[in-house]
Amino acid sequence: MLNRRALIVAPLLAVPALILAGCGSSADSGFDAAASDAGFTIVTSTNVYASILQELVGDSATVTPVISSASADPHDYEATARDQLTVDDADLVVMNGGGYDSFMDKMIDSAGVDHVISAVDYNSTYPGADAAEDEHDHGDDESADEHDHDHEHIEGFNEHVWYDPHTVEGLVAAVQTELDELNPDGSDAVATGAEKVTSDLDALEASLADIAADHTGDTAFFTEPVGAYFAEEAGLEDVTTEGFSEAVEEGQDVAPATLLAATNAISGGDVSVLIANAQTGGSETEAVIDAANEAGVPVIELTETLPDGEDFFGWMQDNAKNLADALAE
């Protein structure tokens, strides 16, 4: 919105003579043409959110992710000048929030994007809107300053919220409401898209409920918290050794005693499935995967970003199928 307003205002200020010569009509038609050519643009932090929103908006808006590569790790992604150009075009930004994709914050500020929706705000375990409001507040609030450098990463909060179908449901509803206001021309397309998303979400929840029904009491060990919401929805008990996945996610070394406890738990038959994240893993992740392979514990992999050539719900259904197959072993 701000960008579009800037486009109209700037030529009026810069070249009043041209505007006067062309009279009101050229300014009006020029604006309409520019608006419909460029269209409404949504920029997302990762290709995960781009895929969800593409299904929602259909061809009523352009959706562009900053991270589109399946191999990039959003946790420590460094934005480029090209990414800034992408964000500069945004009428609406949709991101994860909660410190996960904080590389977006500076670009949003510098682009002056007014409309930002963060998925974490629709997660029932997120410590609340207070942190979200502090996000762009570099003022005198002490707690905001304290979290300045780790960008409001909240200790103990699992920020991989797109693996939680309820969060996706809330996010999509919020984006739909926002788009009805910001891009009313697209409302019909978005309403149709919302029906598709709802039916895909229902199907995904049904797949996970099937796993829960068939595998009551089964357990999961996570090398990184990426799939915890997903496995919880599938009814699995989290038996990850305390401190293991947090250390891996934060890029710290896993303490030797913790690593030993982890490999012992896996070798000892306490773990039904090992859920690994190769995107952010190091030698400790490899050590527990090796332990699982030796003990005959099935390993499945969940990633931070959407694998190439997949769409969000196809990917999630593949994940559910891989999990069901692993538990059936």
Q: Which is nearer to Zn ion, 93 or 226 (CB)?
A: 226
Sheet hosting strand 237-238, strand order edge to edge: 237-238, 219-222, 273-276, 299-301
Closest approach, Cβ 124 to Zn ion, in A, equals: 19
Strand partners, 237: 219
Q: For residue 42, what is the enclosing H or E element?
A: strand 41-46
Positive or negative, the CA dihedral 13, 16, 18, 21 is positive
Closest approach, Cβ 101 to Zn ion, in A, equals: 11
Closest approach, Cβ 270 to Zn ion, in A, equals: 24
Q: Which is nearer to Zn ion, 208 or 226 (CB)?
A: 226
Residue nearest to Zn ion (CB): 226
Q: Which is nearer to Zn ion, 158 or 183 (CB)?
A: 158
Q: Which is nearer to Zn ion, 229 or 313 (CB)?
A: 229
Closest approach, Cβ 226 to Zn ion, in A, equals: 5
Closest approach, Cβ 68 to Zn ion, in A, equals: 17
- DSSP letters along 277-317, please? -TTT--HHHHHHHHHHHHHT--EEE--SSPPTT--HHHHHH
Closest approach, Cβ 100 to Zn ion, in A, equals: 7
87: exposed, middle or buried (Cβ count in 10 Å: 0-12, 13-18, 19+): buried
Q: Is 176 helix (H, G, I), strand (E, B) or coil?
A: helix
Residue type (1 letter), 297: V
Closest approach, Cβ 73 to Zn ion, in A, equals: 8
Closest approach, Cβ 89 to Zn ion, in A, equals: 27
Q: Is 24 helix (H, G, I), strand (E, B) or coil?
A: helix
Q: Which is nearer to Zn ion, 200 or 304 (CB)?
A: 304
Q: Which is nearer to Zn ion, 226 or 291 (CB)?
A: 226
Cα 131 to chain centroid distance, Å, stands at 17
Closest listed residue to residue 312, CA positions, set 131, 50, 126, 76: 50
Phi, then psi, of 209 in degrees rounded to 5: -65, -35
Exposure string over 232-262, b if 16+ CB within 10 A, otherwise e: bbbbbeeebbebbbbbbbeeeebeeebbebb
Closest approach, Cβ 87 to Zn ion, in A, equals: 22
CA angle 102, 103, 106 (to 5 degrees): 95
Residues 6 or more apart whose CB falls under 8 angstroms from that of 299 comprise 273, 274, 275, 276, 289, 292, 293, 326
Q: Which is nearer to Zn ion, 281 or 298 (CB)?
A: 281
216: exposed, middle or buried (Cβ count in 10 Å: 0-12, 13-18, 19+): exposed
Q: Which is nearer to Zn ion, 63 or 226 (CB)?
A: 226
* Contacts with Zn ion, residue ranges (CB under 5 A): 226
